[in-house]
Amino acid sequence: MKKSRRELEIFSLSFLDCICCGFGALILLFVLSKFGAPVIMEEIREDLEGEILRLEQTLFELRGDTEVLNRRLKSKEEQLSEEKLKLARLQGDLSRIEGEFAASKQKSEVQAIIEGKLAKALQELTEEMKRLQRDMPRQVVSSSVGGIPVDSEYIVFIIDTSGSMQRNAWGHVQKKMEETLNIYPRVRGIQIMNDDGIYMFPQYRGQWIPDTPGRRKAILKVLSTWRPFSNSSPVEGILEAIARYDDPDKKISLYVFGDEFAGEKMQHVVETVDRLNKAGPEGSRRVRIHAVGFPTVLNDPRGITGTRFATLMRVLCQKNGGTFVGLNATRP
């Protein structure tokens, strides 16, 4: 008897069981992975937060170390600046000592040059001086100290404040200023201006400074640091003083302290002063002119301006009843 063949069923119960088991396994894996992910993420987050805290702590420590190092660096820089200042002072002292030593070695030679030129400026009459002195009236000195007439009641100081005077003779200028004031124990008025006609006390321009012990001390104190502009020529100051303070009822003396005459024509200066400070019937003039010459530029090859100052002031002093005093040193 012939057996019938059994047909194959694709979607049998066994096949469906396998498929369901597979899907169940996948679902189980999916569920297990979802429940495990938050735990892993939390662990990772905690690890990262710990690392951040550690890095922040390291940053704070580095910032603290940086501040300490900056303070140390600043301290070292300040110490370096102080050492540089000390070095600069020591170098300055060394240069000064070397200069003094070199000056002392050449002192005799320089002194000889100064004395020779000063003697020439003070004792020899040039042709120009002889021409200026022709027909000069003889002056009668009523009272004097060391040859300088001191009969005036009002005195005006005209002081050269140029660089050559400031550098080489300012201490001597202050000493001569004090000595001149001491010659006049008491006057009715004082005035001080520089060779350009710039007033030491502008508030007293056109007036007289009252003479008191306190005023004299103030004048000497201000003089020590007084440095207005100067063109190294006494002419402007002399003309300003005569034009502004000339008074027939007052006895006035001008004291010119200087070392140079940088102008061109001495004859024109003398004629202008003659016109302003006119002579009286007896030949005397209302304003006396005295001068003190400082030899600051006589040892300079260009020292002709010092000789010209001595020439001009000697003529002006003789024509205007005063005295010219030439110094042989720039320091007292």
Residue 222 has pLDDT above 60, yes or no: yes
| Planar angle of CA 168, 173, 177, nearest 5 degrees | 180
pLDDT digits (tens, 9 = 90+) for 27-80: 777 666 655 556 566 777 777 878 888 888 888 888 888 888 888 888 888 888
Residue bearing the bigger pLDDT, 26 or 3: 26
Q: How open is the CA angle 49-54-58, to the nearest 5 degrees? A: 145
Across 222-245, average pLDDT:
94
As a whole number, mean pLDDT of residues 210-227 equals: 95
Higher pLDDT, 212 or 105: 212
pLDDT digits (tens, 9 = 90+) for 274-295: 999 988 777 788 899 999 999 8
Angstrom distances, CA of residue 214 to CA of 58, 158, 211: 72, 21, 8
Least confident of 5-14, 27-36, 209-218, 320-329: 5-14
Residue 85's pLDDT band (cuts 50, 70, 90): confident
